[in-house]
Amino acid sequence: MQHLAHWDDVEGVRREAGHLAGTWRDLGSATGTWSVGLQRIEIDPGKWSTPAHAELVEEEIFFVLGGSGISWQDGETYEVGEGDCLVHLAAEEAHTLRAGPDGLDVLAFGMRAYPAGTLLPRAGLVRMDPATVDASPDQRRPWEREAAAGEPEVGDFSDRPKRIVHFAAADFLEVRASLDRDLGRSAGSERTGLCHVTVAAGKQGAPHHCHSAEEEIFVILDGGGTLYLGDEEHAVRAGHVLGRPPGTGVAHSFRAGDEGMTYLAYGTRDTNDIAYYPRSNKVNFRGIKLIGRIERLDYWDGEPPE
């Protein structure tokens, strides 16, 4: 299925240079997303995830699946572990991660902004894909230059800022038979969101719906159940990832199995978005917070009906 994949079936790519080492799985591309992306990064014990960097256009949200380590942000260091959510706003603090003795396993959600820009202060360059802006004669790749710069200095741990929050401490809302924890807003995200959703056994999560402008990614963390995609049904379990591009007109929803289901829901916050609920014929004009019910439906390809 084009937009559903299991992370065990996505080939890992090794990335290593000096103190940087880990295995990357491009879950976004595997599920057909185009305006947002998702990487699973399994960082080797004692190693770092990436060169210290600050995205100049994109907002990033990280979720720690397992292990422990530190978040390095502009020279300050913070302890992180399983269940933590980290938000990095565009053009703010440079950041990277170092794994502890048991490694560090994280999901990295982000926007695919065009054009994009990334500041790598320790490597001494700005990457403006597909080009690199560099005033020095050093022609090595960013990872090679970061490796040559050596590991970032790690001092005593600082008190964690608001942009790092454990899912259990996030703001939550009990909706129907689910518990929705708003990790993104709790950690200060502005243009994207991430929710941690726990659905009771046999119950449905969000109503069957589709979006006109917002793209979403779902990751099943625990339990399992059924994915409803249009008129199709698919069994899902922990590790399944679903990408839902906007404008497809194909609705989606989840129903938990006998053990319940816990999943992450990531998406953009597009004020032009319209959500449609085919089972109730309701339409949510999200930018103006207006919900209505459609009395007549007309679908067309090409020219609109008269």
Closest listed residue to residue 184, CA positions, set 74, 88, 271, 279: 88
What's the maximum distance between 2 C-alpha atoms anywhere in the chain? 69
Report the pLDDT value the prediction gives residue 127, as an integer from 0 to 100.
74
Cα(88)–Cα(63) distance, integer angstroms: 12
Report the pLDDT value the prediction gives residue 131, as an integer from 0 to 100.
58
Domains in the chain: boundaries: 4-165, 167-293
pLDDT tens by residue, 229-267: 999 999 999 999 999 999 999 999 999 999 999 999 999
Comparing 4-165 with 167-293, is the CATH topology the same? yes
Q: Model's pTM, two decimal places?
A: 0.90
Report the pLDDT value the prediction gives residue 126, as an integer from 0 to 100.
77
Cα(183)–Cα(195) distance, integer angstroms: 5
Instruction: State whether residue 143 is helix, strand or coil.
Output: helix
Please give the C-alpha separations between residue 234 and each of 1, 35, 146, 204, in angstroms, as whole numbers: 10, 24, 44, 14
Q: How confident is the model at residue 174 (pLDDT cuts 50, 70, 90)?
A: confident
Kindly state which CATH superfamily the domain 167-293 is placed in: Jelly Rolls (2.60.120.10)
Instruction: Work out the mean pLDDT of the chain and round it to a whole number.
Output: 91
Q: Any idea which of 34-43, 76-85, 113-122 has the lowest mean pLDDT?
A: 113-122
Q: How confident is the model at residue 116 (pLDDT cuts 50, 70, 90)?
A: low
Report the pLDDT value the prediction gives residue 139, as an integer from 0 to 100.
64
Kindly state which CATH superfamily the domain 4-165 is placed in: Jelly Rolls (2.60.120.10)
